[in-house]
Amino acid sequence: MILTVTLNTALDLTYRVRSLRPHASHRVSDVVERPGGKGVNVARVLAALGHEVTVTGFAGGGTGREVRERLSDTPGLTDALVPVAGATRRTVAVVDEQSGDTTQLNEPGPQIAPGEWGAFLDRYDELLPSASAVALCGSLPPGVPVGAYANLVRAARTAGVPVLLDTSGEPLRRGVAARPDLIKPNADELAELTGSHEPLRATQDARRRGAHAVVASLGAEGLLAVTPEGRWHATPPTRIHGNPTGAGDSAVAGLLSGLVEQLPWPDRLARAVALSAATVRAPAAGEFDPAVYEELRGRVTVTGVVSAA
């Protein structure tokens, strides 16, 4: 079983409009609703790949009930979310069909009480022994300690469970110091962590700060990996147009599934890039276009990278 942690779950709403213009009314051509939050997106992709996956984190209010009802329809996915008094947040993605751009609006999430945080820690400790790997993903809702991910990383390491961390800002900085097996920042998160805007140098610096391996997401330029086994740059064969929301989460699912299956790093990276690109072509986060994935995964280019000075 793969365990994904989403402390700030969401109900993701995706609106499609012909052209998004400020200060104007818009006619929405299509609406898609899905359970969301980074770890939930990761879990749905893992389940679609055939892995048994358990989702934990928080869910509350009417939005939380809807998230849990929708998760119950996903084969291979087990709901272990912890109930809270506050309402689960919503996120809104507005896709401009004319330009292909997406505008994202993210609510902060519910206030988590100390007793609710304690209940989550108990649930996490119960689930760890049966996990083959753990993904800690996304933002922290109000009330959760900023060092939460660092503590969860240490607990996974103590249990001997490989742990992937995908977050940003101070939670990432503290989490890296706890020595996770893998982190997957995007270019902006990596620059904020290290102070460097040169991807290879920044990725190497992030690894020196404590991460066992670092895979940086470079958007349309693919993934850059610095690991104990080597350094690689994986790129898609063509630029994919569509909605990028959730593409990074699909990359995490590809990396995590490759870890559990003990694939060589180049194969993990090729899978992650192909899944990410296939998600850009899908209508909603946490989904991927299987035909695009199958077509792309054998065409991803993975090349070795010489270390920066």
User: pLDDT of 5-28, one tens digit each?
Assistant: 999 999 988 888 888 888 888 888
Mean per-residue pLDDT, 219-240: 89
**H helix or E strand, kind and range, residue 42:** helix 38-48
259 half-sphere exposure, CB direction, 13 A CA radius:
24
pLDDT of residue 309: 44
Q: Side chain identity at 114, as an amino acid letter?
A: P
Cα dihedral 189, 192, 193, 196 in deg (nearest 10): 110
Which one of the listed residues 166, 205, 249, 289 is annotated catalytic?
249
Integer-rounded Cα radius of gyration of the chain = 18
55 half-sphere exposure, CB direction, 13 A CA radius:
33
Q: Side chain identity at 178, as an amino acid letter?
A: A
pLDDT of residue 209: 94
Model confidence at 123: pLDDT above 50: yes
- Residue identified by tokens 């009417």 is 62
- In 3D space, the residue among 228, 273, 232, 235 whose CA is nearest the CA of residue 255 turns out to be 273
pLDDT in tens, 53-68: 999 999 999 999 999 9
Q: How far apart are CA 67 and CA 229, in angstroms?
A: 39
pLDDT of residue 172: 96
Averaged pLDDT of the chain: 91
Higher pLDDT, residue 284 or 78: 78
**Contact at 8 Å (CB) between 7 and 148?**
yes
Q: How far apart are CA 204 and CA 212, in angstroms?
A: 11
101 noted as active-site residue: no
Report percent pLDDT > 90 for the chain: 67
Cα–Cα distances in angstroms (integers) from residue 150 to residues 176, 178, 219, in the given order: 7, 5, 26
Higher pLDDT, residue 295 or 84: 84
- Take residue 59 and report the two structure tokens written for it: 């869910």
